Amino acid sequence: MATTFGFDDFSPAATPIDFVDAQSWEVYASSLSEPQRAYAACCAYEPKPERLLLLPGCDGAVTRVLCGVENPDARLRDPFLPGKLGTLLPPGLYRFDRGPADPAAAALAFLLSQYKYSRFVPAKAAQPRLCVPPGVDAARIARIAEAVAFGRDLINAPANEMGPEALAAAAMELAGRHGARARLIVGDDLIAENFPLIHAVGKAAAQAPRLVDFVHGPEDGLRVTLVGKGVCFDTGGLDIKPSSAMLLMKKDMGGAAIALSLASMLMGGAAAIRLRVILPIVENSVSAPAFRPSDIYRGRKGLAVEIGNTDAEGRLVLADALALACEDQPDLLFDFATLTGAARVALGPDLPPFYTGCDDLARDIERNARNANDPLWRLPLWEPYDSGLDGKISDVVNVTSHGFAGSITAALFLRRFVSDPARWAHFDAYCWNGATKPGRPEGGEIQVARGLNELIETRAFERSAK
């Protein structure tokens, strides 16, 4: 289902692309031939961001492309902006000639912009192709682009195509492709294997709940575990959502898609990483066996968990998965989930919040996210809010009674199932682009994975060098 991406070898015959800005336009324009300057003037061309000008030759063919970008001192420069060429240019072979400022980011964005979910409507047969920019690791960028496309395909698929069976199958196929050791636990076997919360959330659906657990890489490598929420569709359960809130719930398995996308990046690389991926996969449905508000289940960690709201199901399945993840004490533990609307209210759809018990890890996450142009923002694990999760007849309730700070209290709930919060980070992602931007087409999106790929690879290489 994933799209194949890549670059062409460098060719001097490829059409050159020059990136221009208002600050340097006059100097640049003086280097053009007189007919080219006249053509630009006739078109009233201004080098504004994303504005193109195709300069023709005597035969009418395009001989050079001008693409406007922000000035070097622009406050909010977007290194992905040049990537929009991947959809704006006519078919043909192109190469970067003058600029851009960050060729690797521009090349990645060029590929990411060309993504299209084509399960039902085929993509255009011919698209513009890009020569490998000098000094760019083309294989690595193509691997990242393919991994993102794989995850976007999972999110964009409708729930009738991407239910628990299909999502688990996609995860098992990825594991098999890379030679990972994989295990699948389905239905009532979850009870036998002590995953009662995962079973409780998914038992009302037509397709049984399940857990995918796979391991890849050397045992002496950096030990990294990824946990992804795989709720293939969320009705809200008995606390059912209104139709407007249910419309995009096919993307409620976005956390699992992030984990699989990041796993694909890491397993295809050369760093020595002992990678484990744990995916609790369910559909939160309404039927006679559905779990109910006020039900109490004793989760894998042994805590008695009271259900305050059945629409807070993602944290329940993550609780059992995190308890499992902590049993082999990884060096890094990251969980991903489309968990709360409160995160969207606080930071909007483009800026996922994250939480961790370690300031050094938080700084490392933030630095690598900036380097990868993969934005996120740290929010606090605010201790005074934790007591709001205490149960009166249980150890913990899955929601607070006051309803405030929903993303923070969800993270605090998850922390109760993590044995070492200093090695853990939780990411509350949206996984959806409401409108097309350079490198980010409308539809399903893989957030935070590219930045974490940078972090994990760097730590793994540093570890190997010691």
Residues with catalytic roles: 241, 315
Q: Could you give the CA distance from residue 102 to residue 120 in angstroms, rounded to a whole number?
A: 35
The verdict on whether omega for the bond into residue 47 sits within 30 degrees of 0, i.e. cis, is: no
| Residue linked to tokens 């300031």 | 359
DSSP 8-state symbol, 183: E
Neighbours of 1 (CB within 10 A): 16
Name the token pair of 372.
Answer: 């990868």
d(CA 154, CA 279): 14
DSSP category for residue 185: E
3-state class (DSSP) for residue 315: helix
Question: What whole-number distance in Å separates Cα of residue 72 and Cα of residue 66?
Answer: 17
Q: Which helix (H) or strand (E) holds 167?
A: helix 164-177
SS3 300: coil
- Encoded tokens for 381: 């694990």
Q: Backbone phi, then psi, for 118, in 5-degree steps? A: -115, 20
For residue 276, which phi and psi values (nearest 5 degrees)?
-125, 135
* CB contact at 8 A, 231 and 285: no
φ, ψ dihedrals at 173, nearest 5°? -65, -45
Determine what percent of the chain falls in helix, strand and coil, rounding each to the nearest 5.
Answer: 35, 20, 40
CA–CA gap between residue 271 and residue 181 (Å, rounded) = 18
